[in-house]
């Protein structure tokens, strides 16, 4: 095979992600994991041990985030695709009422984190990816193996 054909094939196997941040175009290339690989690309559930603020993040997500506060949508979508997962984000504010102790602690008393909020998985096949505080309040992110439509 000619070198240019090899390069074209290699590029075909990559996902190119582009977005604009602070007025500058950003471009990343991600190599997706093979869904047919004998080693499943899907994340493995981990034991959730929440910190003193009630927060926790899956170790694979923590490595991906790398201390950033925001992951651009296209990069997030490509990362989920590369792991063969779909995600569901639930906000504490939408799940609890204003009389719940976790609501009062966070929104009325101004305490950080998600202490006292114990969200339940939508179903058996959903696993926690992260529970953390945001500027808009605590959220939980669930994941499961991508379901074909």
Domain boundaries, the chain: 37-145
Picking from 126, 149, 131, 141, the residue whose alpha carbon sits closest to that of residue 48 is 131
> DSSP strand E in the chain: where?
15-21, 24-30, 56-57, 85-91, 127-132, 139-145
pLDDT of residue 91: 94
Question: What pLDDT was estimated at residue 147?
Answer: 81
pTM of the model: 0.73
Residue 22, pLDDT score: 56
| Exposed/middle/buried for residue 148 (C-beta within 10 Å: 0-12, 13-18, 19+) | exposed
Residue-wise pLDDT tens for the chain (149 aa)? 433 333 333 333 444 444 555 556 555 544 444 333 334 467 899 999 999 999 999 999 999 998 888 889 899 999 998 899 999 999 999 999 999 999 999 999 999 999 999 999 999 999 999 999 998 999 999 999 988 76
Q: Which pLDDT does position 5 carry in this prediction?
A: 34
Task: Sort 132 into a burial class: Cβ within 10 Å, 0-12 / 13-18 / 19+.
Answer: middle
């Amino acid at each position: 095979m000619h070198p240019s054909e090899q390069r074209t094939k290699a590029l075909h196997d990559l996902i190119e992600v582009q977005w604009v941040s602070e007025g500058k175009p950003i471009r990343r290339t991600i190599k997706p994991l093979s869904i047919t690989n004998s080693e499943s690309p899907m994340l493995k559930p981990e034991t959730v041990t929440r910190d003193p603020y009630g927060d926790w993040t899956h170790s694979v997500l923590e490595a991906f985030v790398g201390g950033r506060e925001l992951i651009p949508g296209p990069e997030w979508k490509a990362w989920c695709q590369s792991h063969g997962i779909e995600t569901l984000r639930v906000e504490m504010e939408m799940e609890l009422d204003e009389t719940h102790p976790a609501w009062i602690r966070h929104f009325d008393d101004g305490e950080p984190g998600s202490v006292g909020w114990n969200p339940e998985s939508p179903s058996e096949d959903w696993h926690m990816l992260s529970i953390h505080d945001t500027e808009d309040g605590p959220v939980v992110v669930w994941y499961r193996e991508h379901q074909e439509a």
